[in-house]
Amino acid sequence: MIVVADTTPINYLILIREIHLLEQLYGRIVLPSAVRDELLHPRAPEAVRAWITQPPAWVEILVPTVIPDFAPVKLDKGEREAIALALELSADAMIIDEMRGRREAERRGFTVIATLGVLEEAAGEGLVDLRLAVECLRRTSFYVSDAVVAELLGKKLDDLR
């Protein structure tokens, strides 16, 4: 299975110490060079920069050969390269959080998985406690509404407060 990932899901999975789930769920993960560069940015968390400096063997960093025209959709460089690589590699899925990137990837026929989707799938496989993982995620700068968390966890909003 070939899965191409954008920056945000990688960043947050590293921060909550669940990045290993990607290998367990999908095997090979491909990152475009622009995503690597974003993860190395001086403002990226130190743990993220350290991880991408020596990525595990199951991560492959590639440069897309052709970047399609995405106009009028406004995507950042990482999203553009991720979609381009997914197209080149005939990827099975993409891991991407930002709405514009998700919509463009879906428009181009890709199965799209978000950070929460990775955690939900991992929980379904018994690889992670979903409630604890979401709690960890919410302690970062990741934003998710109470309503989405309630739906994900199958609880009433009052139970989350």
d(CA 76, CA 73) in angstroms, rounded, equals 10
Instruction: Look at residue 117 and tell me whether its pLDDT is greater than 70.
Output: yes
Query: Quick check: 11 and 52 in contact, CB under 8 A?
Result: no
- The two tokens of residue 62 are 């590639």
d(CA 64, CA 44) in angstroms, rounded, equals 23
- Identify the pLDDT of residue 157: 46
Give every strand in the sheet of 93-95, ordered side by side: 59-62, 28-32, 2-5, 93-95, 111-113
Residue type, 42: P
- CATH code of 2-160, in short, is 3.40.50.1010
Q: What pLDDT, in 10s, does the model give residues 94-108? A: 999 999 999 999 999
Is the full-model pTM beyond 0.85? yes
